[in-house]
Structure 1
Amino acid sequence: MNHSSLDTMLIFTIYGSFGPLNYLFFMLAFIFYLLSVFANVFLMLGIYFESSLHKPMYIFLFNLAVNGLIGSSAVWPKVMENVLSDTQTSSLLACLVQVFWTYFYVSSAYTTLSVMAYDRYISICKPLLYHTIMTPGKVKALLTAANIIPLSSISIQVYLTSRLSLCRYTIHKLYCDNLTLLNLSCGRSGLANLYGICVVTSLVGFPSIIVLLSYAKILTVSLKASKDAQKKALSTCSPHIITFINLSLASLFFVIYHRYSLLLPAEVYILITVDVFVIPPLLNPIIYGIRTQEIRKCVVKMVKKKQRLFQIF
C-alpha cells in the first residue's frame, strides 16, 4: 500500500460558509478560549499554592483542569487561524497531531472522572478507611493510569490512521477528527475500525460504568444517613455529577452528528463542537469553584492577597 505523505495538505471547506460572520466567530472563539484558559489556570494555581487543597480530590481536579487546557488548546487556536486565513489548510501530520490531542482530551476526561468518582465513593462509603486506602502512592498510581492508558491507546489509534492512503483531501469540519480521516482514505481499514471501537469501549464505556456504579453506591449509603450527611455528600459530589453529565451529553451529541451528518446543517456541528471543546473546559473550574466550599475559601483568600498587593503599590 502507498501510504500518504505526512506533508499532504488537507483543505477545510466549512469556513467559507461563514462569510461576513468570520470576524464575529473569531472574536467569540477568542473570548471563550481566553476565559477557558484563565479559569483553568486560576484553579490550578489555587490548588498548587493552597496547602489545604493538597488532597486526592483536588489533585485529581488539578489533572482535570490540565485536561481542559489541552482540549481547548487542541482545537481553538487552529480554528481562529483558519477563520482569518484566506486558505484553510492543514498538513496530514498537523491533522494527526490534532486528532491525538482532541481524542486524548475526551478519553482522559472520562478516566479522570472515573478516578474522582472512586475517590468520592471511598470518602463517603468508607470514611474510616479513606486515608488507609487513598495513600499518596495509590493517588499517584490512579493519576498515572488515568493519563497513560489514554495516551498509549490513542497513540496506537493515530498510528493506524497514519498508515492509510488518502484518496480525498477536503474536510467539511472545523477541525480534524479520526473518523473523518478514515472516511478520506481509499479503503476502510478493518483493523483501525475494530481498534477504534475497542478504544471507545475501554476509555469511555468502562469509566462511565465506574462513575455510575460509584454514585449508585453513594446514593444508597446517603439515603440511610442523616440529613447533614446527605447535604455534605450532595455538596461534595454535585460538581462531579454535573461535569460528568455535561461531558456525556456533549459526547452523545457528537456521536449522533457523525451518524446523521448528511441530514444536519453545519450550524449544528459548530454548536456540538462548542459543547465539547468550550463548555466543559470553561464550566468545570467555575462549577467546582462555586459548589466546593474549600475552593471558594481559597479564591477569596487569593483575591484578598491581590488587594493587599495593590494597596502596597
Structure 2
Amino acid sequence: MENQSDVLFILHGLNGSASSRQIYFSLALASYVFTLLVNVMLIVTVCVEKTLHEPIYIFLCNLCFNGIFGASIFYPKLLGDLLSEVHVISYTGCLAQVFALYCYVFGEFTSLTVMAFDRYMAICKPLQYRVVMTSQKVAQLLLLTWCFPLLETVVGMVLTARLPLCGRHIRKLFCTNWEVVKLSCVDTTINNIYGFLLMFLHVSQAGLIVVSYAHLVRASLRSHSNRRKFVQTCVPHLLTLLIFTTSLVFDTLFSRYGGDQMQLLQNMLAVEFLVVPPLVNPAIYGIKLQQIRWRIMHNFTHKDTPPLQADSR
C-alpha cells in the first residue's frame, strides 16, 4: 500500500454480534460510566481530604488516572462501533490507539511497581520512610510512571510505523501493535524481538514485585501494626497486580498463537485488561483502605465517622 495514511483498517471483533449489539451497547455504556464514577470518586476523596495527602494515596490517585485513561481508549470507539454497521479505523487513528493503549499498559506496571516500593519502605524500613518518601521523591516517582512507559511506547511505535502494509483486516475489537505488525509486507524480526523483550521485562517486573512481598510478609509478622498495614494496602495491591498481569499475558499469547475461532473468547481476553483493572482497582482500595472508606461513607451518608488518621507508613 503506497499511501498508508489513507488506509482504513477493518475491525472484525464484532462480527456475528449484530443481534445482540443493543445489549452489548447498554452493558458497555453502563460499565464505562461506572468505571469513570468510581475512579473519579476515589480521586476527589483523596484530593479533598487533607489527611489523605500521603504518598500511598497519591500513587493510588495516579493509578486511578491511568485507569480512566485506559478505559477512555477503549470504550468510546467500542460504543461507536456498536451503533454502526461498519467497523473501520484509519491508519493514523489505529497508530494513535496503539500508542495510547501501550502507554496505559506500561503505565499500569510502572505505577504498581512504584506502589510496591512505597509499601516496602513503609513496612520493612518504617524509620527511614519519612526521610526517603519526601514530596520531591514522590514527584520524581510520579514522573517516572509516565515518562518510562512513554519511552517504551515511542520506540515500539517507531519500529511499527516504518513497516509497509499489505493488508487491512484486524481481527480484534481495537488496534494492537501485534495486529498491525502481522499486516506487514516485510520481515518483522526486530519488532518481534522488541515485543518479546517488553513482555519478558514486564512479566519479570511483576515477578519481582511478588517476590518483594515475601519480605513484606515477613516484616508484617513482627507486629500487629505491620500486619494491619499489609492487609489494608498490600493485599489489594497484590490482587490488582495479579489480575492485570494474568489478563494481559493471556491476551498476548492468544493474539500471537490463537486461531480465528472462538471470537467471543478472544474478545473477552482482549478487553479484560482494559475493562477489569480500571473498574476493580478503586473498588478494591476503597473497600480495604479504612481512611478512604470512612470518607466516602461520610460524603454519601453524612453520618459521623471516626476521625481520619493518615497511616501511609
Instruction: Give TM-score scaled by structure 1 length.
Output: 0.91
Q: For the structure 1 residues 228 and 153, does the alpha-carbon distance in structure 2 shift closer, same or farther, using more than 3 Å as the test? A: closer
1:137 matches 2:152:
no
Shift of 1:209: 3.7
Shift of 1:195: 2.4
Given that 1:11 and 1:88 are in contact with CA atoms closer than 8 Å, whether structure 2 keeps it comes out as: yes
| 3-state SS, counterpart of residue 164 of structure 1 | coil
> How many residues get paired?
303
Task: Pick from 218, 221, 230 the counterpart of residue 220 of structure 1.
Answer: 218
Given that 1:112 and 1:146 are in contact with CA atoms closer than 8 Å, whether structure 2 keeps it comes out as: yes
Give, in whole Å, the separation in 2 of the partners of 1:245 and 1:209: 10
Shift of 1:64: 0.4
What does 1:2-151 align with in structure 2 at a 5 Å threshold?
A: 4-151=3-150
Q: For the structure 1 residues 9 and 268, does the alpha-carbon distance in structure 2 shift closer, same or farther, using more than 3 Å as the test? A: same
Give, in whole Å, the separation in 2 of the partners of 1:205 and 1:86: 38
Q: For the structure 1 residues 285 and 3, does the alpha-carbon distance in structure 2 shift closer, same or farther, using more than 3 Å as the test? A: farther
What does 1:156-305 align with in structure 2 at a 5 Å threshold?
A: 156-202=155-201, 204-223=202-221, 225-262=222-259, 264-304=261-301
Shift of 1:135: 0.9
Shift of 1:127: 0.7
Give, in whole Å, the separation in 2 of the partners of 1:226 and 1:60: 25
Give, in whole Å, the separation in 1 of the partners of 2:264 and 2:302: 44
Q: Which residue number in structure 2 is paired with residue 310 of structure 1? A: none
Shift of 1:19: 2.1
Given that 1:4 and 1:165 are in contact with CA atoms closer than 8 Å, whether structure 2 keeps it comes out as: no
| 3-state SS, counterpart of residue 15 of structure 1 | coil
1:200-244, CA deviations, whole angstroms, 9 ceiling, x for partnerless residues?
333x13531441232121012223x13453233222211111111
Q: Which runs of 4+ in 1 moved over 6 A?
A: none
Given that 1:161 and 1:182 are in contact with CA atoms closer than 8 Å, whether structure 2 keeps it comes out as: yes
Give, in whole Å, the separation in 2 of the partners of 1:201 and 1:256: 12
Given that 1:108 and 1:150 are in contact with CA atoms closer than 8 Å, whether structure 2 keeps it comes out as: yes
Give, in whole Å, the separation in 2 of the partners of 1:112 and 1:16: 35
| 3-state SS, counterpart of residue 4 of structure 2 | coil
Given that 1:3 and 1:164 are in contact with CA atoms closer than 8 Å, whether structure 2 keeps it comes out as: no
- Return 5+ residue gaps in structure 2 as ranges: 304-313
Q: For the structure 1 residues 61 and 200, does the alpha-carbon distance in structure 2 shift closer, same or farther, using more than 3 Å as the test? A: same
Matched to 1:237, the amino acid is C
Matched to 2:293, the amino acid is R
1:100-157, CA deviations, whole angstroms, 9 ceiling, x for partnerless residues?
1111111110110010001000000111111001111111111111110001210221
Instruction: Give TM-score scaled by structure 2 length.
Output: 0.91
- Return 5+ residue gaps in structure 1 as ranges: 307-313
Q: CA RMSD in A?
A: 1.8
